[in-house]
Amino acid sequence: MNKFIRQARELQSKLAKAQEELSNTTLEVSSGGGAIKVTINGQQKIQSVKISPEVMDPNDVEMLEDLVLTAVNEAIAKSQEIAAEHLGGLTGGLKIPGLT
């Protein structure tokens, strides 16, 4: 039983370290040839959104919305990939809610 508790504590410690590393990992994703840039961390938290003034056309708001949506979705997907890589080895491939 003590061995199991010790292993659980080691896993908990490794998961905490991996989550801290993920919070310090940032990715920048762009769409529209760099017109929209989204920065996200490894915990799927958007850090910033930058919009180039050239794409702000009041007559074509839908294009801007599409570019932002594309960049945000790609940023989240890449962040999830990074998280899965960091945590996959620790969890043995199990999907644990709140960790990935």
pLDDT at position 21? 85
In the DSSP assignment, the letter for residue 44 is S
Q: Where are the domains of the chain?
A: 2-91
Instruction: Using a cut of 0.75, tell me whether the model's pTM lies above it.
Output: no
For the CA atoms of 79, 90, 21, 50, what is the dihedral angle to 10 degrees?
A: 0
Q: Return the pLDDT at 90.
A: 67
What dihedral do alpha carbons 37, 99, 14, 26 form, nearest 10°?
0
The mean of the pLDDT values for the chain is 86
Q: Which CATH architecture has domain 2-91?
A: 2-Layer Sandwich (3.30)
**pLDDT of 77-100, one tens digit each?**
999 998 888 777 765 655 555 554
- pLDDT lower than 70: segments of the chain: 90-100
